[in-house]
Copies of this chain bind each other. A is one copy, B any other.
Amino acid sequence: MNVSKITMAHGSGGRDSAELMRDIFGRHFANEVLDRLEDGAVLPPSPESLVVSTDSFVVTPIEFRGGDIGKLSVCGTVNDVLMMGAIPEYLTCGFILEEGLDIAVLDRIAMSMAAAAREADVLIVAGDTKVVEGRNNGLMINTTGIGTLRDRSAHPSAANARPGDVVIVSGNLGDHHACILSARMGIANNIGSDCAILCEMADSLLNNDIDVHVMRDVTRGGLGTVLNEIANASGQVVELSEQEIPVDAEVRDFCGIMGLDPLYMGNEGKLVAIVPQAQAERALDLMRAAEAGRHARAIGKVIGADVNVGRGSVVMRTKIGGTRRVDVLFGEGLPRIC
C-alpha cells in the first residue's frame, strides 16, 4: 500500500479497492476459493444440512487485551454455527471501514482474523469492503458463517432441558465485558477478554457420547438472559447456586466497584451445556481438558417446577440461603460494549 490511512477511495470499487484487497485481505486470507477474486464464492455440494448464522461486530476499542474486533468477528460467528450443532466450514466478511483508519491497524486485525479462522479450521471465502466517514477511525465487521450439520440422531436445542439435568458453564463470567469497559474508561488492570474459538470443547462433548441436551454460547445479554431463553423454550425452571457461579477475582472486584452483575455481562468464549446428571462429571472433565473450558463449573440444575415461580423461569439460591428470581436483561442494564 502506498498510503498509511484508509481513504474514501478504498471504498470506490475501483483501483484503490483492488489494492486493499490484494495487499491486506488477499494476503492474510489467501485460499483457493477467495483467490478467484469473483463477486462471490463457489462452494462444493453439501450432502448434509447446512447451518448459517450472521453477526455484526461494532466493539470499541477495536484492539483490546486478549483480542481485537477481527478475532471477535471470527470467534462469534464460528461459535454460533457450532452451537447450532454444525461443523463450521466457511466465513464471509463484510468490512465497513471508517475514513482515516490506520492501514497498519487493519493489517493486524486481518492477521488476527486469519489466525482465528485457521484455529477454527474455516475458510474465508468471500468479502466486501465499504468506507464511511467516521469519528473514531475505526471499523465494523460483519461475518456470516456456514457449517454442515453434524450427523447425529439428536441435536442440542434450547427446548431440550429436562428435570434433573445439570447446568454447566465453561468458565468465568464477565471477562470480555469487564475488559472492554476498563479500556473505554481508561482503567489499567489485568482483565483480558475471553474471546475464544469453542470448537475443541464442543467437539469433545459431542464426539464422546455425552447426551448434550442444550448447548449455547453465552454472549450479549449474559448467562441470565441465555438461561431464561432455555427455561422458556424447555418449559422448565433453571435453579442456579450463587456460590458456584465462576467469576475471576479481579473481575469480581471490578464489578463490585462498578455495580455490575456478571450474570448479565457479555462473554465471547463461553458456553453453557445442559446434560443428564449421570453424565455431568464426565462432561465437566471433557470441557476442562480444553483450553477454553479449564474453569468449567456445574452451576445449577433443571427442575420441573418451583413453588415461587412459574415454568420458564430462572431462580438463584443465594449464598445466604435465600432465593431470587433471575430475569432477562432489560433496558440498558449495564454500560454497553457492543
Contact = CB atoms under 8 A, between A and B. Distances in A.
A83 to B, nearest CB: 6
A41 B52 contact: yes
B80 A53 contact: no
A39 to B, nearest CB: 5
A154 to B, nearest CB: 14
A128 B46 contact: no
A87 to B, nearest CB: 13
Contacts of A225: 13-14
B149 A146 contact: no
A16 B336 CA distance: 14
Interface residues of A, number: 72
A173 interface: no
A13 B219 contact: yes
A331 B19 CA distance: 11
A105 interface: no
Interface of A: 8-9, 11-18, 38-58, 80-81, 83-84, 86, 90, 92-96, 125-128, 130, 132, 135, 140, 142, 144-146, 149, 158, 216-217, 219-221, 225, 264, 266, 328-333, 336, 338
20 contacts: A13-B221, A13-B266, A15-B330, A38-B84, A38-B158, A39-B216, A40-B83, A42-B50, A42-B84, A43-B49, A44-B49, A46-B50, A50-B146, A53-B92, A53-B126, A55-B128, A58-B96, A58-B130, A94-B144, A96-B96
